[in-house]
Chains A and B, each alone.
Chain A
Amino acid sequence: MTLLWAGILVMVAGCFALKLAGLSVPPRVLDHPFTVQVADLIPVALLGALIAVQVFADGSTLSVDARLAGLAVAAVLLALRVSFLPVVVAAALVAALLRQL
């Protein structure tokens, strides 16, 4: 077995174990006020970080490009209470069009 396959096996086992561990946290821990607080904060914090990285990161450098225009359009549409899917499609269209220029 090559080292590459060994690495792949480590990933397969490790990534699945983490996913299952999170889902399997016992109710006693889930009900703890601290867990409730953290579980409430995690989506906001992670989504904030995910958006920033998705929009500004280019490998290990930061760059401003059509993605930011897409995000700005999305923000405006969301503020206008447009529903989810049209917002996503509009952001893609704006970015794609800007890249054609």
Chain B
Amino acid sequence: MTTSDRSIIVDSLGVGLATGAYGVSFGAISTSSGLSVTQTCILSLLVFTGASQFAFIGIIASGGNPITGALTSVLLGSRNMFYGLSIARLLDLTPAQRLASAHLVIDESTAMSVTRTTRRQARLGFYWTGLSIFSLWNLSTFLGALAGNAIGDPRTYGLDAAVGAAFLGLLWPRLASWHARLVALFAAAVALGAVPLTSAGLPIIVGGAAAVLLGLLWRPAEAAA
């Protein structure tokens, strides 16, 4: 199946809109957790990785030490390193370009580029998704921080379901083999098992790591092709 450049841009903007709007809830929760509007906006501008930001303010809100919160958040951010590793070859960037682009390496920009077959389309997916989320995430963080809960819960508009569906849409083409299906299911199961036991964001790392390990250990002949 070939995908046109235009459809990659449209899809990327769609993911950007659905995800970026979540900045409203981040902004609102952050200021109600005791951070100032400035601190809240700095997190979205300079940390720019949602799960880490939510984990940090969650720990602050529950009275935790900010340094503990920061370390948890950095640990969660370690998945961005693996994302970078997965897309480095596809994006094919010079050192200067890497420095300028690294900030945009997040869940969604990786997901929208890692499935592409050409450098051009991988870059289209990466930058259109990354930049649209960055713009909207920061704008909506600011609005959410100012307005508190007045704007309303993004869940009312089904945006949480939209994000799940977007991830499934990205995973779908990769589920051609039973090997891949089992790896994905195993990741989901382990992640869900970890949800009650660990703090936010960690289940993704635990489930993902366990499934990668399973995928490496169990490689039937057909999947190796």
Contacts and interface: CB of A to CB of B under 8 A. Distances in A.
A18 B161 contact: no
Interface in A32-69: 35, 37-39, 41-57, 59-62, 66-67, 69
Chain B interface main SS type: helix
A42 B70 CA distance: 25
Interface of B: 7, 10-11, 14-15, 18, 34-35, 39, 42-43, 46-49, 52, 56, 60, 65-67, 69-71, 73-74, 77-89, 91, 93, 95, 98-99, 101-103, 105, 107, 110-111, 114-115, 155-172, 174-175, 180, 183-192, 195-196, 198-200, 203-204, 206-212, 215-216
A4 B210 CA distance: 34
Contacts, number: 307
Contacts of A19: 49, 77, 80-81, 84, 102-103, 105
Q: List the 7 closest pairs (A to B, CB-CB), nearest first.
A: A22-B84, A70-B161, A7-B66, A91-B165, A48-B184, A95-B161, A14-B74
B73 A71 contact: no
Contacts of A70: 158, 161-162, 164-165
6 contacts: A25-B84, A38-B216, A42-B208, A48-B183, A48-B184, A74-B169
A63 B2 CA distance: 38
Contacts of A47: 111, 167-168, 170-171, 174, 184, 187
Interface of A: 3-8, 10-12, 14-16, 18-25, 27, 30, 35, 37-39, 41-57, 59-62, 66-67, 69-71, 73-75, 78, 83-85, 87-97, 99
